[in-house]
Each structure stands twice: as structure tokens, then as C-alpha cells.
Chain A
Amino acid sequence: MLAGYDTLITTIALGAILAYSFHVVLMAGQLSLGQAGFASLGAYVSTLVVPTEPIAGSISPVIVGLPVGAAVGAAAAFVVGIPVLRLRGVFLAIATIAFGEMVRVVINNAEWTNGALGLRVEKWVTFDFAWIIVAVLAYLFWRLGPSRSGRAFAAVREDELAAGSMGVDVVRTRMSSFIASGAIAGVYGVMFAYFFGRITPATFDFALTVNGLVTAVLGGYLVFFGPILGAGFLTSVPEIQTALGLEAGWIHPLVTGVLLLAVVLFLPGGLSTLFSRLRPAPVRPGPDYAPLDALDPLPDRGTPIAAVRGLAKSYGAVHAVRGVDLEIRSGEVLGVIGPNGAGKTTLVNMLSGLEPPTAGDGEILGVPLGSRPHRFAQAGVSRTFQHSKLFERLTVLDNVLVGTHVVSRPTYLRRLLWLPSARRDERRALALAWAQLERVGLADRAGIRPGALSYGDRRRLEIARALAAHPTLLILDEPAAGMNHVEAAELASLIRGLADDGVTVLFIEHNVKMVLEACTRLVVLDFGEVIAEGEPREVAADPRVVEAYLGTEADEREESEHV
């Protein structure tokens, strides 16, 4: 079309496709670098099935190769993913690099691939064809961003523990991103083969992986069109240098390197940072979406919702929790207190699936102990953390929207088709999230990132996120830590209000005044064991409790009471 620039323009498209295969794993926070292997497998296998003649006279035969390449890449990613997805960070990166190299060696040594001599095929890919694929990918990622699945990806990227506690199936989300990456890399392999008409095992080497990663990060993985920006930048820089009359040789790589460095250092989030201000500020949804409609009713007051017996956790010789029996009934506000190191956090971690118990059995809302966190969350357990675990690169509103994960339906596929029901579901989730922000008094800060919030506001945001899941059992781990007494008093009244609405609350707190005000029942832990249990004022007067507290933690109690 643009005579003489076809290759350049197509190269941008191919670079963008490759970068999308990195984009999708980076979105979910996975540093997976096996794309060269997936692309190689996709490309080689597709040469076995792509016809040598145009289909029906004029349709590019690559149409056949693309699904095959995608399927091969996805299948390979699945098979590789089963063992390697246990790994994180650099370990995952290096394991997947190893996979890519293994593929290269195998293909180099295989007969059907013609070894190092490579294969020649017809050039069936034209530049408009390549850009259609890019457009399709961009569309898929555009629709993914603000969907329930897109938020799950982002939540897993920012904090896996918090994501799991909000009901996101972390393992599945990571695997989905990994498989999608494999499929896109497979498509890239096919496109590469049929654009250049030739592949050798060395085509899909480590340098290709580095290129894709650089393109994806350079463009930015926080917006859907990042890979296109990255590919455009990297392809055009040498061209612009040539146009400016700069000699090739060492100057080209030098300038490219310096520019790349400058972008990474000065534009966190890559080139897409330049466009991120285009995002509209969140607005309150209209009144026509009543947030609580269609949510399941909470269990009747007094119904047992959790019962555990003989619960214990030990780390080697250290017994963090031992022999704890606990029953929780709907509608109560159960306080758990105890000196530092008494095992409070370990206890609630076991109740919410973050840590498996070493002994004991029981169920929480029908979910057996030792299940993974998202199972508990789906059953209606929602929690906050002692050290707040917010999704730092999402806005305040998006943080809370992740909380709605367990009470909303998947919208991605329906969003792709623009079904009105998807829009309705998204609006409902938005209304639910907005209501929680208003409940904790953060509605005016919906559009900013959590990093800009005060400490107390961060804790409130975490509570709003937990509430957005419409929990039956809300677990709060030291929610008032760092709050002044005005804020703590507000929090206490919020908790009482929740109890009035029928939410069961279990909370760990050092602020005894607040515990006494808010709780209907109190459990005291010391050295991992329950030393007292019952009506708050009675328990607080129990001599063993006084000893446990005053003997070891008198100073701290003073502090927390009077801060």
C-alpha cells in the first residue's frame, strides 16, 4: 500500500504481536520468557498444515495456520506451566528461558524441521493481514482491561495473597495468562514464518525473547496499546536515525540504547505513561443501580458459620497455634486479643486459607480448613491484613472493584460481544464498590492511587475492599493500628453498623477500648493457646488475661489506649 515501506510497517505489527505475548503475562505479574519456544513450536507445526495454495482462490492460507499455531503455543504453555508456574520472579524467568532453549536444540536436531537449514514457505502474510491480527489483539486487550478478568490479572500482579483473599483463583489466573501468552507467541511464530517465508531454529533464540520483553515493557503493560507503542518506537528509531543522516555502525545501537534507558528511567510505566492522563476520572454511577439488589441474603443471626477443633500450626519446633477450638455464629462480633506473638494472625490466616494448619479440622462457611484462599473468599470470607496489602498501581476505586470479584459474574466474553448484560453487570459492580467507598468515607478519593492516601485512609480502603465482597464473615487484622482515637471511634461504630446489617466480624486488635466497645464476644490467645473466652468485660477482668497482658505487654496496652 505504502510502496517501499511495507516491510517496515509489517515489522512493527509483528513486533507488536510478539510484545502482546509478553504483555499478557506482565499484566498478571509473571516474568515468563519462554515465548521464543512457543513461537518456534507454533511456526514449525503450522508449516505442516498450511496449504500451499490460496483457499477458495484468494484467501490467504495462513488463516489455517493461525489457529494451529495458537493451539500449539497454548498447549505447550499449559504443559510447561504445570511444573513451572509454582515458581516466581527470576526463577520463573530462567525456567522458561531454559524451556525456550530446549525447544531450539530439539528443533535443531530434528529431521522433519530440516535442522539448522530451516524451512522455506510461501510468503502469504501481507502487511494489512498483519495489522488485522494486531487490531484483533488490541481489541481483545482493550475489552479485557476493565472486565472482571482484567481486574483479576491486575490484582494477581500487584499482590497474590490479597488477590487470593478477594476470591481470585491465583493459580488459574496465572495459568490463563501463561496459556494466552503461549497462544499469542504461537500466532507470532506463524506470522513470522509466512511473512519472511523462512524459519530456522536460530530465528527463535534468546535475542528474540529479549526483544519482545523490551518492547512490552517499553510500551508499558498497564494500557492495552502499550505493545504497539513499544514496537513502533523500537522500529522507527533506527529509521529516523538513517533519515537524519546518522551513519549505521555503532551509533545506531548506541542511540537506541540511550533512548531505551531514558524511557525506562524517566517514564515509569513506559511510553504509555504519556497517554495515561487520558483516562477519565471515575464518576459516581447513577442511582438506577441499587447495589445490594440480587445479592444473596446473609445467614440468619445465630446460625453457626464456622467450627474448628484442635487447630494447630507449627513452624518446625515453634508452635504458633495449638489446640484452638472455635465456633463462630452469624451476627456476632468476635474479638481476638493477645500479646504480640500469641498466634492471632496465624489463626486468622488459617481461617482464611492463607496458611494450611498442621493439625485440626473443621469448616468455615462449608469450606474445609486447608483449602486455598479463594475458596474461602467465594464462600463469603473476606479479610484485611495487618500490614495493608493494597493493589498499589490500581486506583482506589479499582482496588474496591477487585473486592466485588466474588459477587460478580465474569464479563470478559460478553464484553467482547458488547452484550448489554455485561455492561449491566459492570455497572452493578461499580455501584457496589462505590457504595463501600462512601461507607468508609473515601468516595472523593476514588481516582487516586493508594500510595497517596494517609495511613488511616489506607486501612479504611482495605476495609472497603473487603466489604465489596459482600462478606458473611469479615476478618479484620488490627484495623485500627495507626489510627488516631477519632478514627478508631469511627471504625468501632462502622463495625457495629456492620453487625447490625448481619455481617459477622472477627477482628484482631490491640486497642482494648475499641475491642470492649465493639465486640460481643472475646477470645484471648497467649502462646498459641486460648486462655480465656466469653463476654468482653468478664474476660477483660480474668486474672490470667491481666497477667498475660500486664506481665508482658503493659506498655503497649497503655500506648494503644491513649494514642
Chain B
Amino acid sequence: MLQQLANGVFAGSIYALFAIGFTLVFGVLRHLNLAHPAVFTAGAFIGIEVAARTAIPVWILFPVVALFGAIAGVLVERIAFRPLRGRDDEHFAGLISSIALGGVVIALLQARYGTEPQSFDMDYFPNRLFEIAGVRVTLTQLVTLGLALVLMLGLAWLVSATPLGRSMRAVAENPTAAKVLGVNVGRVTAGTYALSSALGTVAGALLALNLGQAGRDLGASIELVGFAVIILGGLGSLWGAMAAGVVLGIAEALTIHLFDSTWKSMVAFALLFAVLVVRPRGLFGHVKVREV
């Protein structure tokens, strides 16, 4: 039981890492960026290639991957969202343009890496098993959880204490007013995408490290659970996404433990459906949906 709770927490921290990038963009800009799963996948592939080429240690690998992610994020915004600004169908068109761009990203990954899944060298990050109070945890699980917490805290600090963060909150509250007050909305938008995609690529590389390999469907496989997490957490809420990821992870682990694993994938969606019907703000979106 305790073991299953721990399993849930670790699985959930991956969900959360994927989801915070997703929810950040929505919270600030009201864009649902469906290219995020593709960027996430790209992060995994880039991480594997950089690790194989340079053999740099893990703690340098992630910042490098994040840098790629930030660039990708800026490009996603430039290509798929900025040209649509102010159009009547901005909302729907943004969904489709980001789906299309995601498809382009995946095609480019295939051009570079082929159809086979790519894998980390097993010696790159040797895994170890610990037993803490009777609970078995692996090093990658601990790293995942730790990194998720660090990124969350870093992001929280960034949003609350830096000029970029303040501008982001201003744009989230009211883009027009923010512009009048002298906030460079274009730069904040680019910054938000850069941050979101950097988080997404790191999450992708981390998941690939956890799995040992990455295929082109890596992002797609987590996309739907990601939707569930951002809604459960309250769309736009960073802490909510973190908490919801963990709650979902635990709910899935307990379903397997107490009932039957065939119903595992039902849990996320049933929970999501129930929450949306009963409390559309999400479990943790208390006051404002757009709390960042």
C-alpha cells in the first residue's frame, strides 16, 4: 500500500512536469498549445542525442535541453500563434495551427532520428534501487520528483518575484491593461512560451531517462493525461497542476492495487469528467482560474 502510494507520487510527478508547461501558457495567454506534446518529444530526442555526443553529466544535460526548448517555444509562438492574433477565429485556428506545427516537429524528428525509438546509453545514468522505510524507490524516480519540485519552486519564484513574472501576471489578468501600463506584451508572450517549452523539453528528457528510450509517440502518450491534470488542477494554476498530477498518479496506482489494472486508464478520465461536471474550476483552482 505504502509502496503503491510512492509509485503514484513518482508517476504523478511526470504528469505534473508535463502539465505545468501546458497550463502556464494557458494561464497567461489563454492558448491551448497542442504543439506542446511534440516539443516534449523533441526534448527527449535532443536529450538522448546530446548525452550520446557529449557525455556531459545529467545536471548539465537538462539546462542544455531547456535551452533548446526555450528556442522551440519562441518559434512555436511565432509560427503558430502570433500570426493569428486578433482574428475572429483565433481560438479554433490556434488549436489547428499548433496541431499542424506539432506534426511538422514530429516529421522533422523522424527525418533526423528515423522510426526506431532512440535510447539512452544504459551506463549514462546508472540506476540504483533504494529501500526507504520498506518502500523501494529508484534513483531516477527520486531525480524526477526532485527535479519536478525544483522546477516548480523555481517557476513559482520566477512568477512572483521577477520582473518577467510580474509582467506575466499582469498579462494574465488583463492583456490590454498590461499593454497600457507599458508591459511589452510581445516579449512576455515569447517569454512565457520559452519557459513553457523549456519545462516541456526537460520533462520529455526526464521521462526518456526514466523509460530508457523515447519514441515519436512519447508526447502523444501523455497528452490526454496531461489534459486531465491541468483541468483537475484548475486550468492555469501551477500548484494545482503539480498537486493534480500527484493525485492522479496515486489514484491510478490505488486502482491497480485495490481493483484491477484494466480500469486504470478509466480513472483519470472519470475523475476529470466528474470534476468538470461538479466543479469546473478544478480541485485546486479555488479563487481564480487564472491564478499563476
Do A and B form a real pair? yes
B106 touches A264 (CB 8 A): no
Name the A residues within 8 Å of B224 (CB-CB).
97, 101, 206
One of B89, B266, B276 near A105 (C-beta < 8 A): B266
Contact with A along B76-118 (1 / 0, CB 8 A): 0001100110011101110111011111101110110000000
Chain B interface: which size bin? 35 or more
Give Cα distance in the complex from A269 to B93, angstroms.
9
Number of A interface residues, CB 8 Å?
45
B235 touches A91 (CB 8 A): yes
B276 touches A84 (CB 8 A): yes
Tell me which residues from 247 to 267 in chain A have a Cβ below 8 Å from any Cβ of chain B.
249-254, 256-258, 260-261, 264-265
One of A95, A108, A213, A257 near B103 (C-beta < 8 A): A257
Name the A residues within 8 Å of B270 (CB-CB).
98, 102
A95 touches B272 (CB 8 A): yes
Name the B residues within 8 Å of A90 (CB-CB).
26, 32, 235
Name the A residues within 8 Å of B92 (CB-CB).
26, 31, 217
Give Cα distance in the complex from A26 to B277, angstroms.
21
Name the B residues within 8 Å of A252 (CB-CB).
107
Query: Nearest residue in A to B225 (C-beta to C-beta)?
Result: A101
B118 to chain A, nearest CB (A): 15
B107 touches A261 (CB 8 A): no
A interface secondary structure, majority: helix
B224 to chain A, nearest CB (A): 6
A249 to chain B, nearest CB (A): 7
* Interface residue? B231 (CB, 8 A): yes
Query: Nearest residue in A to B90 (C-beta to C-beta)?
Result: A268
One of B26, B102, B111 near A250 (C-beta < 8 A): B111
A94 touches B96 (CB 8 A): no
B91 touches A89 (CB 8 A): yes
Contact with B along A27-43 (1 / 0, CB 8 A): 00001000000000000
Tell me which residues from 234 to 274 in chain B have a Cβ below 8 Å from any Cβ of chain A.
235, 262-263, 265-266, 269-270, 272-273
* Interface residue? A83 (CB, 8 A): yes
Give Cα distance in the complex from A392 to B263, angstroms.
46
* Interface residue? A121 (CB, 8 A): no
**Known contacts A213-B95, A268-B88; is-contact A261 B79 (Cβ 8 Å):** yes
A268 touches B276 (CB 8 A): no
* Interface residue? A277 (CB, 8 A): no
Give Cα distance in the complex from A176 to B109, angstroms.
42
B89 touches A268 (CB 8 A): yes
Query: Nearest residue in A to B102 (C-beta to C-beta)?
Result: A257
Give Cα distance in the complex from A97 to B223, angstroms.
11
Tell me which residues from 100 to 114 in chain A have a Cβ below 8 Å from any Cβ of chain B.
101-102, 105-106, 108-109
One of A214, A257, A392 near B88 (C-beta < 8 A): A392
Tell me which residues from 74 to 126 in chain A have a Cβ below 8 Å from any Cβ of chain B.
83-84, 86-87, 89-91, 93-95, 97-99, 101-102, 105-106, 108-109
A209 to chain B, nearest CB (A): 10
* Interface residue? A393 (CB, 8 A): yes
Name the B residues within 8 Å of A83 (CB-CB).
277
Name the B residues within 8 Å of A264 (CB-CB).
84, 93, 96-97, 100
A210 touches B273 (CB 8 A): no
8 A/B residue pairs, CB under 8 Å, sorted by A: A31-B91, A91-B231, A94-B276, A98-B270, A256-B103, A257-B101, A260-B99, A261-B100
Interface residues of A (CB under 8 A from B): 26, 31, 83-84, 86-87, 89-91, 93-95, 97-99, 101-102, 105-106, 108-109, 206-207, 210, 213-214, 217-218, 249-254, 256-258, 260-261, 264-265, 268-269, 392-393
Interface residues of B (CB under 8 A from A): 26, 32, 79-80, 83-84, 87-89, 91-93, 95-97, 99-104, 106-108, 110-111, 220, 223-224, 227-228, 231, 235, 262-263, 265-266, 269-270, 272-273, 276-277, 280
